Amino acid sequence: MLTKLSVNINKIATLRNSRGGSRPSVLQAAIDCQAFGADGITIHPRPDERHIRYSDAREIAGIITTEFNIEGNPKEDKFVQLVLEVRPAQVTLVPDDPGQLTSNHGWDTIKERTYLRDMTEVFHKAGIRVSIFTDPVESIVAAAADTGTDRVELYTEDYARHYQQGREAAVATYVKAAQVATTHGLGINAGHDLDMDNLGYFTRTVPRVQEVSIGHALIADALYYGLENTIQLYKRAIARG
Ligand SMILES: CC(=O)[C@@H](O)[C@H](O)COP(=O)(O)O
Ligand SMILES: NCC(=O)COP(=O)(O)O
């Protein structure tokens, strides 16, 4: 099973918003990423719309030829309403507070089990696959299964942070977390701070990763190598392992 690459285009929107205009077009970027080989498009509209706007989500939904993944915190009613309106293939539930610079932790699936089960049911009723953002902690991943979620997304910042010092140690908790996910019948996604250097080892070593969502490093690389070439480089990193 080859891991799918979902390109997170948040940072295209960051650049667009920085001048108050419409350039670069986020919609065109989504169209092009799919044409260049992305297996999906991911966005993470935050309550302050610092990059992706809710209007972007509505427009992108109309040009999706791959898979659309919308990330966000369902404790924001506006987010839930948007997802139910847009009906992406997947919603990824991320427990970010509104003012966070970026995502930096997964759900406490033990404490939030009832809440997450209720929200999973809401999105399932709309025919939307659910993925829950979790740290690579075996007990947390096991508890995610009690919510009825389809998948967990393993939060990979810790892996990326420690990759250079020793990739075997950096990936160990993710291998175990993935094994627990599989044992509990959960699909496995992964994301955050993955890049061209650390990606192949992760997808080669962690079993049954169905999808990685990558944005910040990929868009930064695209400034040097071009978007089409960069997407192909990331796809080859996965294929080469
Ligand atoms: C959930 C996750 O790890 C990423 O989608 C992250 O939320 C990216 O958000 P920013 O692009 O706002 O950093
Ligand atoms: N879910 C992770 C994601 O969508 C992108 O994270 P990053 O590559 O921008 O760190």
What pLDDT score does 62 carry?
98
What pLDDT score does 215 carry?
98
Ligand 2 lined by 193 (C-beta under 6 Å): yes
What pLDDT score does 73 carry?
98
Alpha carbon of 218 to ligand 1 centroid (Å): 13
Helix (H, G, I), strand (E, B) or coil at 188: strand
Q: Which of 112, 153, 192, 211 is catalytic?
A: 192
What pLDDT score does 22 carry?
97
**Is 39 annotated in some ligand binding site?**
no
Taking the chain (241 residues) in runs of 10, the rounded mean pLDDT of each run is 96 98 98 98 98 98 98 97 98 97 97 98 98 98 98 98 98 98 98 98 98 98 98 97 82
Best of 46, 94, 192 for a ligand 2 pocket test (most atoms within 8 Å of beta carbon): 192
Alpha carbon of 32 to ligand 1 centroid (Å): 21
Q: Which burial class, exposed, middle or buried, applies to 37 when counting CB atoms under 10 A from its CB (0-12, 13-18, 19+)?
A: middle
The label of the residue with tokens 């986020």 reads 26
Strand positions, DSSP E, 9-101: 40-43, 68-72, 90-93
Please give the Cα distance from 112 to 119 (Å, whole number): 11
**Is 162 annotated in some ligand binding site?**
no
Does the annotation mark 192 as catalytic? yes
Amino acid found at 21: G
Of 1, 2, 9, residue with least CA distance to 231: 9
What six digits make up the tokens of 190?
């992964």
Q: Which ligand is nearest to the CA of 7?
A: 2
Please give the Cα distance from 161 to 156 (Å, whole number): 9
Amino acid found at 194: L
**Is 215 annotated in some ligand binding site?**
yes
**Is 8 annotated in some ligand binding site?**
yes
Answer whether 88's CB lies under 8 Å from 111's CB. Answer: no
Q: Which of 44, 67, 112, 211 is catalytic?
A: 44
Ligand 2 lined by 215 (C-beta under 6 Å): yes
Of 222, 179, 170, residue with least CA distance to 37: 222
What pLDDT score does 1 carry?
81
Does the annotation mark 184 as catalytic? no
Please report the domains of the chain, with CATH numbers, ordered by start residue. Answer: 4-240 (3.20.20.70)
